[in-house]
Each structure stands twice: as C-alpha cells, then as structure tokens.
C-alpha cells in the first residue's frame, strides 16, 4: 500500500479508471504531454495513449462542450480546467447543457462527465488561481459538487464521480495537493457520494467544514481537546446534494455548531447549512450557529492571503465564544 499525496491519489484514481473502463477519457490544457500544471495527470498519456489522454486548446468553453458531447454519446469524459478562476467561461456548457440534459431528454440521455479543477487559496498565486466559488455550482439543479480533503478520500470520491451517471464538479484543494501523505490502496473501491464523513467524535460542539479547511479544523479540534472541549468534526465532502442527516444527528448531540469555509461569507454554503439547522435543529441548539469564513473580497495577494483564510486560532476563538452560552 502506497503513501500518497492528494495529487498522487488523483493520478492513481484516473489511471485505475482509464485501465478498467475504455469509455473514460481525460483531457484539458497541458494534461497530456506535460501531465497538468500540478502534475495530476503525469505519465497518463504515455500509459494510455493520445486518444485517451490528450491536450486541448486554451478554450474552457470548448473543453466543457466537448465533454458534454462525449458524455451524451456513451463516453465518460474527465475534463480538467486548469484553475477554478478559469471555469467561468465553461459555465454556459455546464449549466445550460450538462446539468439539464437528463431533464431535457426526459431521461433518454444522461451526462456522465466530471469537471476537475484545482481551487482555493494558500499557494501565493494571483486571484484567478485562488478562487473558492463552489457555491455557484451548488446552486445549480442537476450537478453534484464534490470536494475531497485527504488523499484517500480524493481517490475514492474521484472513482465514484467518474462512475456516476450524472455530471460532477470535482474541486481539488490546491493547498492540500502536497501538504501530507496517507495510505491509499489502489483497490478500485469508491467512496459513497452524497455522504458527510465524521472524522472525529465529540460531545460539546460540531465543527463542519470541507476541502482545505479540514486541515485547520482538525488541528483546532485537537487543541480544543487539550482545553477540555470535545469537538465533533464533519467533512461535508459532497456539497450537493448535501447530507444534512449526518449534520443534524451531530448537532442534536452537541447543541453547538461552527461552520468553517474559505469561500466568501455572503451566500456561501455555510449559510445554507446554517439555514437548514435553523429550520430543523433550533430546539437542540444551546448557542447561535457561528461561521468562520473568508471575506467578501477577491483573495488578496501574498501578504494578506493568510489573513483572508480562516485559521486554527480563529476557529478556536469562535468555539470558545459558543461555549460561553449555557
């Protein structure tokens, strides 16, 4: 069993599906010969040939349109958009065609495509390379939105996304690509979509997050335990459709909830979770729901980037605030 980084786990999952399913193709800008800007597709073209793994022009709308056409005709395309800040040119094809095809054809056609893109801040890149706009896609009926937060979950969730009969937006936290390694067996076993993962059991407060913020959230939970505060940690993983059942069970147990995400605060996915809790768990709450988020600004360059991102210290400070309610 290999210990892999998250980006290596992505590569392993792509290689597995290319090997076992001849309808899978991988394409995007520089994914073939160069192996992608982050090397997520390294050596795949050499292993599987230029017809299965190939480069495209710098044209995101064309990449998405090609994926829709292939998916509607029995292929399973995995299209890479180089950075999330470049995905907006592809939104027309994703929203107006990929997300609607099953409904439009009354079930005669489906659209089993995956759009992969690195996203999020923390690598000191310009703003187009640091976007975290997952809420745009969560709002669209017909799309799944999946975000892994560890190498093992990246492997299992990507396998599931490729095998899913409907379109999946698969967002890969850039900051986690090489942050740590863990054991990732190349078993071909997919993880379930539409499920939130409880990463740590607790009794005093529920911490909810996804993507790169899971790293800070887990560190905060560990430090809180040394302060005598037991935090339950939930990785949402699939933002759409959202597994509220797992979240509700946890909040019913703890009575307190802090939601952490790096995306801008207004109308973020955290707001949707908070609204669901207000509707369905109000009688269980011992304190107001709190959010620790990015700001309603473009991600600032370099020196202010760390201030923009939620930190372990901000999470701990917010948890202490909710613990003051009795």
Any idea which residues carry the catalytic annotation?
A: 129
| Three-class DSSP labels, 130-149 | CCCCHHHHHCCCCCEEECCC
Which residue in 34, 13, 323 sits closest to 187, CA to CA?
13
**Is 24 strand, coil or helix?**
strand
Token duo for residue 212? 């790169």
Q: Residue 55: enclosing H or E segment and its boundaries? A: strand 53-55
User: Taking a C-beta distance cutoff of 8 angstroms, is the pair 38, 118 a contact?
Assistant: yes
DSSP labels, 73-115: TT-EEEEEPSSGGGGGGGHHHIIIIITTHHHHTTTS-----EE
Burial of 94 (0-12, 13-18, 19+ CB in 10 A): buried
The answer for residues whose C-beta is within 8 angstroms of residue 264's C-beta and 6 or more apart is: 132, 293, 294, 295, 296, 297
CA dihedral 156, 31, 261, 264 (to 10 degrees): -150
Opening angle at CA 309, ends 303 and 310, nearest 5: 140
Opening angle at CA 143, ends 56 and 154, nearest 5: 70
């Amino acid at each position: 069993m290999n210990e892999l980084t998250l980006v290596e786990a992505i590569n392993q999952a792509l290689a597995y599906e290319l090997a076992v399913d001849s309808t899978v193709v991988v394409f995007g800008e520089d994914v073939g010969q160069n192996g992608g800007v982050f090397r997520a597709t390294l050596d795949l073209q050499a292993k599987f040939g230029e017809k299965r793994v190939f480069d495209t022009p710098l044209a995101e709308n064309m990449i998405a349109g090609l994926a829709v056409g292939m998916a509607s005709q029995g292929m399973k395309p995995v299209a890479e958009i180089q950075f999330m800040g470049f995905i907006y040119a592809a939104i027309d094809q994703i929203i107006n065609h990929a997300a609607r095809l099953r409904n439009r054809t009354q079930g005669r056609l489906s659209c089993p495509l995956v759009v992969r893109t690195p996203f999020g801040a923390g690598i000191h890149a310009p703003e187009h390379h640091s976007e975290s706009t997952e809420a745009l896609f969560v709002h669209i009926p017909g799309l799944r939105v999946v975000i892994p937060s560890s190498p093992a979950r990246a492997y299992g969730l990507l396998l599931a996304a490729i095998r899913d009969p409907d379109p999946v937006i698969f967002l890969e936290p850039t900051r986690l690509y090489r942050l740590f390694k863990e054991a990732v067996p190349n078993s071909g076993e997919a993880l379930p979509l539409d499920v939130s993962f409880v990463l740590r059991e607790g009794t005093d407060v529920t911490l909810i997050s996804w993507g790169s913020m899971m790293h800070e959230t887990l560190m905060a939970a560990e430090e809180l335990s040394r302060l005598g505060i037991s935090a339950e940690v939930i990785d949402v993983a699939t933002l759409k459709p959202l597994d509220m059942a797992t979240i509700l069970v946890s909040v019913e147990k703890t009575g307190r909830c802090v939601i952490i995400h790096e995306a801008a605060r207004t109308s973020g996915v955290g707001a949707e979770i908070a609204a669901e809790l207000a509707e369905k768990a109000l009688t269980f709450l011992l304190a107001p729901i709190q959010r620790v988020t990015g700001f309603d600004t473009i991600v600032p360059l370099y020196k202010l980037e760390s201030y923009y991102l939620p930190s372990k210290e901000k999470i701990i400070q917010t948890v202490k605030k909710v613990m003051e309610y009795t």
